[in-house]
Chain A
């Protein structure tokens, strides 16, 4: 019987670049920038790293395939290197692989690094991903349009009028902008009002410009090890342990079977259940101190609160409007500014989220954005579209 990974692995160090339109930086530059911070934080030598995982998504505008871009760039000394790719869950997937490598006893110290260079496409938004089948049969779909449908479906299922949905998602974006404005590593650092958000040009109904996350370049990484080694290397620092990481992919039921209502993520519901079980969390609404969820679009964050049991089903509107997820609320969400303000370099985002939880748990951030008494931080990625996707959830905690 599998026992899971709860508390078997600790984070030794983390790094995260400034996210943004890094016109002068290549993916290789970003990898080095994140890694330098991470290895300094970990307090080890590069030669102590026994294996490495690279997370990167778009081959077309990034570092191409395989894991050699990581080993060549960091000049890793002939160690096992592996590339992982799993849509927007890519970086969390790299972190999971590193964590499992340590938990299995295969290695003591492992690196996970995620990077994405998106700003070489020449246009806004993400590059299109076309398979042979989607080219023949897929709708003329973009990410905002795919996720925008959550709003019309949610309105149909819960009877919440579209103007109220618009109010709630405006509050979500305003909150994330307020948090991002405090964070020097965020891409977008302006405070934006709910009125400005609601008046912005429409991208895909009902999502306006400020309902969509930025498109940025960035990299983030983590070095993980056993709790014993971590304690030995950092006797004076709180131990940050991995409580759980789970990844769930769609079965196709949502897209093709009539029971899915279009207003929630079947994967996120299942994935978070698995995480809470592995982490021993009975009451997520009250046990999760803070979260970084996949706010690719404001409406995604809205429905995700319910899927992760951070809000009751049908109750996201009241929680959002009541300020529960604001920085000074009961369970702050997107404490670093979220995808909203960091943008979403696909291969880096999951590790950027874990970085945000890590620095909060270690109380390393300035007072103005420090979450008080945080014990347990949750991250969530959602890759694909509402009707077929991969979802990753992780929880890390302070001893």
Chain B
């Protein structure tokens, strides 16, 4: 049996109430009042598509032997790099071996389903054993635009394989059209779109039923056989029309999370799939459809294995939220509005790619060492053991810290440090099993910090060098609310 072995969804911590957006920008485009309901997810200042993709990927890989994964597909239309494999940056951060096939899928919002089909077909053909498909987007609308209201940031991931399958692959069907509903040129920061009515009536209302009907015909199934039909479409009237056209009961229409997350772009079909799998029963048939320059439609049948799947649920990630109470913060975080970060921020540092290469495991995988002589775990691994009673030379064996828990030994909140989101919070973290390091803290507030507080590690964008268009990545500590 071939199909999905595990899944996850990741919604970044911050949610922006759409009323705040309207309050700030409604004067420019009063019609957006119609969209100013609920909240949307906003990636933290140190998150981008790569870090979101890693977050979802690591959740999906929690109970998977990472050495058995031999390919990684990353789908996004907001890739930090045009040249330099984004999935390649993710491989060490996902704790995967170097000997993997990695590829970026991009160019349309159906890139995630295209990657998923490629993964499923690859396993089916026997060319890959286990593939991680992870998808993320952080799409931007211009201030005052409908897109700014509608879009949210998120990621989702699935592991595809032939063992411990929880949702069996039953086939796919695709249509491709050069349909310019949403588009970004090579140098565009913001989404642009054609008229909603055209997208809704000519695009979604036609292509989605076409793809679904194509898949039904190919698999010999009826729409009534499906427990849920999963597709992204922000237009409520179109959803009703599509359901009617297909003869589908409305309760089979999977919630698109528009009110609590927003339209997340490339990962959206997988985000909705993750939510559907959370509620699925053995035997349920699920259809996943994407929309972007055409449609992919994929059929799954949930297996008995589903009851044991607890990885990164959408309900958990939805619940772990905090209000972003300031619209301007989003503009600063996304580099839409210039902020005054002080002269200290102007100090020019540049990435030494040769040093990055040398330190790739240390930096991207958070790999330290464990002394084969005295057993001391340490980060970073150096030639000479850190234990003063040992100091053996050349005894460090690779030791992964990325997935370990730790606790806080000391902390501060620094208003002097140049930060996009001051105060900069950081402190000494001691890992369970030994080893410690001074880490930045993220996804927290100063008044939540305490010594002895538990932390988990999260892969984040450490810096963005606008002058050279380089994003650099490292790990930060995320405080967990319960004590150690």
Give chain A's interface residues, CB within 8 Å of chain B: 121-125, 127-128, 130, 132-133, 135-145, 148-150, 152-153, 155-156, 201-205, 207, 251-253, 255-258, 261-263, 387
Contact = CB atoms under 8 A, between A and B. Distances in A.
B362 A144 contact: no
A135 B387 CA distance: 26
A210 B122 CA distance: 64
B349 A140 contact: no
A136 B474 contact: yes
Closest 6 CB pairs of A and B: A145-B414, A149-B410, A148-B412, A153-B410, A123-B343, A139-B426
Q: Chain B: interface residue count, which band?
A: 35 or more
A156 B410 contact: yes
Interface string B469-484: 0001010000000000
Interface in B341-381: 342-344, 347, 349, 351-352, 355-356, 359, 362-363, 376, 378-380
Interface string B426-447: 1110100011111110000010
Given A127-B347, A132-B355, A262-B428, A139 B342 contact: no
Contacts of A152: 410-412, 427, 451
Contact of A204 (B343, B355, B416): B416
A149 B416 contact: no
A156 B409 contact: yes
B438 A257 contact: no
A122 to B, nearest CB: 5
A269 B428 CA distance: 21
B389 to A, nearest CB: 10
A205 B446 contact: yes
B413 A205 contact: yes
Interface stretch (B159-167, B175-183, B317-325, B417-425): B417-425
A203 B351 CA distance: 29
Contacts of A203: 414-416
Given A136-B462, A140-B419, A204-B412, A149 B427 contact: yes
B451 A139 contact: no
A128 to B, nearest CB: 5
A121 B412 contact: no
A124 B452 CA distance: 33
A130 B344 CA distance: 12
Contact of A255 (B412, B437, B440): B437
24 contacts: A122-B343, A123-B342, A125-B416, A127-B347, A132-B352, A135-B472, A137-B363, A139-B439, A140-B419, A141-B414, A142-B424, A145-B414, A145-B426, A149-B412, A152-B427, A201-B415, A202-B415, A252-B386, A255-B436, A256-B386, A257-B378, A258-B434, A262-B410, A263-B410
Interface in B208-265: none
B474 to A, nearest CB: 6
Contacts of A149: 410-412, 427-428
A156 B418 CA distance: 28
Nearest to B412: A148
A132 B419 CA distance: 19
Contacts of B347: 127-128, 130
Given A257-B387, A262-B409, A262-B428, A124 B378 contact: no
Nearest to B431: A258
The interface centre, meaning the residue of B417, B434, B440 with most chain A CB atoms within 10 A of its CB, is B417
Given A140-B419, A255-B438, A256-B379, A387 B428 contact: yes
A130 B349 contact: yes
Nearest to B381: A256
B202 interface: no
Nearest to B378: A256
Nearest to A132: B355
B388 interface: yes
A212 to B, nearest CB: 9
A254 B411 CA distance: 16
Contacts of A387: 428, 438
A207 B414 CA distance: 9
B28 interface: no
A162 B76 CA distance: 47
B382 interface: yes
Given A123-B344, A156-B452, A203-B414, 14 more contacts: A124-B416, A128-B344, A133-B355, A137-B359, A140-B417, A140-B418, A142-B414, A148-B412, A152-B412, A202-B415, A204-B417, A204-B423, A257-B376, A257-B436
Nearest to B362: A137
Contact of A133 (B359, B413, B424, B438): B359
A201 B424 CA distance: 16
Contacts of A251: 388
Contacts of A143: 416
A156 B439 CA distance: 18
Nearest to B376: A257
Interface in B397-419: 409-419
A172 to B, nearest CB: 18
B359 A136 contact: yes
B378 A145 contact: no
A124 B387 CA distance: 38
A140 to B, nearest CB: 4
Contacts of B423: 204-205
B452 A256 contact: no
